[in-house]
A = this chain, B = another copy of it.
Amino acid sequence: MSNDPAVANLINVHNHGHVHLEDSMGSDLHIVNNARVSFDQESEEFTAKERGLLNFLMRERHGSPWESVVFRFDVKAPIFVIREWQRHRMGSFNEQSARYSVVPDHYYVPETDYVRQQLGKPGAYHFDPIDDPAVAKSTIELIESTQRDAFDAYHRMLENGVAKELARTVLPVGMFSRMKWTVNLRALFNFVSLRHHEHAQREIRDYAAAVEDLAKTVVPVAFEVFEANGRVCP
Interface residues, chain A, with chain B CB atoms under 8 Å away: 23-26, 30, 33-35, 37-40, 56, 60, 64-65, 67-68, 70, 72, 74, 78-80, 83, 86-87, 89, 92-101, 103-104, 108, 110, 114-118, 122-123, 125, 127, 130-131, 135, 138-139, 142-143, 145-147, 149-150, 153, 156-157, 160-166, 168-174, 178-180, 182, 184, 201
Contact = CB atoms under 8 A, between A and B. Distances in A.
19 contacts: A23-B25, A37-B94, A38-B100, A64-B92, A64-B94, A65-B94, A67-B182, A70-B70, A79-B173, A83-B83, A92-B184, A108-B169, A116-B166, A117-B162, A135-B162, A139-B157, A139-B166, A146-B149, A147-B170
Given A80-B168, A100-B39, A87 B92 contact: no
Contacts of A156: 142
Contacts of A103: 40
Secondary structure of the A side of the interface? mixed
Contact of A184 (B64, B143, B172, B182): B182
Scoring A104, A123, A162 by chain B CB atoms within 10 A of each residue's CB, the highest score goes to A162
